[in-house]
Amino acid sequence: MSTIRYVAMPTEIAEAYRAGAPDANGQAPERYISDGSGVPCRHCLGEVAAGEPYLLLAHRPFPAAQPYAELGPVFLHAEACERYPAAGGIPPMLFDRRRVILRGYGADHRIVDGTGQVVAVEAIPEVAAALFARPGVACVHVRSATNNCFICRIERAEQGRRAA
């Protein structure tokens, strides 16, 4: 049984963006048609297929602005999609990336110093478990190793059961 779970963008947030809510920069999400290459949806954690519409927007995966609350570009299916299941293991779309950045955050949503590292996708469970063993790490972000874009959050499995 896995000790971690992968947490995609909440459905309520995805639906708000799809309805035209402003992004983290106060702008309306931009709408495009996918060419089928490199457009990972942050809600279903799958690729947006060629010919499908998607949104590009600035997203801040934190509850409030503060110095460590990075915001950046993310993609989202323009039409409703099924949220990635938290019990689903490593999202398959990550294996197309080979490496990702993992970074630990405290309960205050600030980076825990010394936790950021580039890791092979296959090592995510092991490295995330080691990060959770460190004092003060409440969650781990998975980010693109090439562009630093937020992909998803990792929580302890028992944390997810209580919060679900």
143-163: pLDDT as tens digits: 999 989 999 999 998 755 444
Q: How far apart are CA 139 and CA 126, in angstroms?
A: 14
pLDDT digit string (tens) for the chain, length 164 residues: 468 999 999 999 999 999 999 999 999 999 999 999 889 999 999 999 999 999 999 999 999 999 999 999 999 999 999 999 977 789 988 888 889 999 999 999 999 999 999 999 999 999 999 999 999 999 999 999 998 999 999 999 875 544 43
Per-residue confidence (pLDDT) for residue 2, from 0 to 100: 62
Q: pLDDT, tens digit, for every residue of 46-64?
A: 999 999 999 999 999 999 9
Q: Which pLDDT does position 87 carry in this prediction?
A: 76
| Separation CA 89–CA 84 (nearest Å) | 10
CB atoms within 10 A of CB 92: 12
Compute CA 1 distance to the chain's CA centroid, rounded to the nearest angstrom.
22
State the pLDDT at residue 88.
Answer: 74
Q: Edge-to-edge strands of the sheet including 30-33?
A: 30-33, 53-59, 72-77
Distance of CA 100 to the CA centre of its chain: 11
Position 157 scores a pLDDT of 85
**Cα–Cα distance, 90 to 45 (Å, whole number):** 10
Left, alpha or beta for 116 (phi > 0: left; psi -120 to 50: alpha)?
A: beta
**Residue 32: strand, helix, or coil:** strand
Structure tokens at 101: 């950045």
Report d(CA 96, CA 119) in Å as an integer.
Answer: 14
